[in-house]
Structures are given as structure tokens and as C-alpha cells.
Amino acid sequence: MNVISCNCGSVSFEIKAQPSDIYVCHCSICQRFSGAGGMPVVILKNDDFNWLSGQEHIKVWRKPDADWEANFCSICGSALPGMNDPDRMFVPAGILPPDIEGLEIKHHIFVGSKACWDEIAGAGKQHDGPFTG
């Protein structure tokens, strides 16, 4: 797969698996992080993910008392992949190439916290809270 990078190009990575499922989180933290109604991510095994450059430019914000972190480029602010689980990388869907075949929204989570103006469309399954499998 091609080299994927942030807006300024300082941070880049590659993925070695074909992602298919997008999860969109509509919680209040993801609303602020994305500046939008929800944060779409794909989840990859660590083995399928590789940083290529610019890791020194990554800023991490950890939510106090929680297992949650936001990673972003300290130069351009692009949302970057992060590890919210020790075995898996959470990759913002918007940083991926726009033409990955078969990639679609499968689940909306924390729909119970969504903004009133956030209208969810499509066939993705809606969950009030976290994804429970």
C-alpha cells in the first residue's frame, strides 16, 4: 500500500492490510478531536501498521483517568493513528486514501452522545454506547 501522510507530510506511515470496516464514534471527545459530528476510524492489528517518518512530530493527549488518547501532528494538526488498545492501532479514516475498495461504515458508536445537528445516514449499525460485538 502507498505511503500515507498528514497534511504537511511530516508524519507518514503505511498499512499492510486491506481495511474494510469503519467505526464512527460520536462521543463528545471525538466531536472535539475531529471538529465534526464524529470520528471515523479503522482498526488494524499492530503488525499491519508501520510508522515510516516523523514520529518525533506526533503529539499525544491522554484523557485523564482513562484509556484514551488523541494523536495529532504538532505541525499541521492532522489527526493521526493512535493506540487505544495495546494490540491495535486506531487509524482515522479521513487520512486514508479516498479510494480504498470495500471500505464502508459498519458501526456508529456512542450515538447516545451525538450532537443534535448530526444526522446519521447509511446502513451502519447504530449503538447508543460502545461497540459490544
Residues that bind Zn ion (CB under 5 A): 6, 8, 10, 25, 27, 30, 73, 75-76
Minimum gap (Å) between residue 101 Cβ and Zn ion:
26
C-alpha to C-alpha distance for 1 and 16, rounded to whole angstroms:
6
CB 47 within 8 A of CB 83: no
Minimum gap (Å) between residue 99 Cβ and Zn ion:
22
Residue 48 or 74 having the CB closest to Zn ion: 74
Residue 10 or 71 having the CB closest to Zn ion: 10
Order of strands across the sheet that contains 49-53? 4-5, 12-15, 49-53
Minimum gap (Å) between residue 58 Cβ and Zn ion:
9
> Three cell numbers at 37?
459530528
Residue 15 or 95 having the CB closest to Zn ion: 95
Residue 14 or 47 having the CB closest to Zn ion: 14
Q: Is the dihedral of CA 91, 96, 98, 101 positive or negative?
A: negative
Residue 36 burial by Cβ neighbours in a 10 Å radius (0-12, 13-18, 19+)? middle
Minimum gap (Å) between residue 102 Cβ and Zn ion:
24
